[in-house]
A = this chain, B = another copy of it.
Amino acid sequence: MSKNKEKLKKVLHKEGLRFTSQREAVWNEIISSDEHRNADEIYMAIRLNGVLVSRATVYRTIDVLVKNNMVRKLDVGVGPSKFEHKMNAPHHDHIICIQCGRIEEFMVNQIEDLQDSVAKEYGFKLVRHIHQLFGICKDCQ
């Protein structure tokens, strides 16, 4: 069994959920691409592969994956949320062009550390963070 399938099984088991073909299809579709896609795009891609999975199941499955750190949810400020898998992908945040929607990824260790300090200072146990820079990209300026 593939590493990714293992991972899904493990998480579903931990959550007391069953391993089903639909959940596997959603997970497979999400890890098949490194793009930032919304739920409907993922749903459509699965259908194009000839697999029948409902929109509701796509949303439900993505929720589980997000909760378990396998998928990152991205609010791009306009329109539906986008998603990306986190398998083998190092942590990163995003810089987004408000003109053309282009998304670049960045990661600065120093910022990550400073976030931890802030959480500590305020007595919060940090679970996740959103860090998005919005601006005009080179091509759009």
A-to-B contact residues, CB < 8 Å: 75, 77, 95, 97-98, 104, 106, 108, 110-111, 114-115, 117-119, 121-138, 141
When distances are taken between beta carbons in the complex, the residues of chain B under 8 Å from A126 are: 133-135
Identify the closest chain B residue to A137 (Cβ). B124
Task: Tell me, rounded to whole Å, the shortest Cβ–Cβ distance linking A137 to chain B.
Answer: 5
Bound-complex Cα distance A89 to B85 (A): 37
**Contacts A106-B121, A124-B136, A124-B137 supplied; 16 other A-B pairs, CB < 8 Å:** A77-B130, A95-B119, A95-B122, A106-B118, A108-B114, A108-B118, A110-B114, A111-B111, A115-B133, A119-B135, A123-B138, A125-B135, A125-B136, A126-B133, A126-B135, A130-B131
Given A124-B97, A127-B98: A119 touches B133 (CB 8 Å cut-off): yes
| Contact for A127 among B106, B118, B129, B134, CB less than 8 A | B134
Of listed A104, A124, A128, A131, residue having the most chain B CB within 10 A: A124
Q: Which residues of B contact A137 (CB under 8 A)?
A: 122-124
A128 touches B134 (CB 8 A): yes
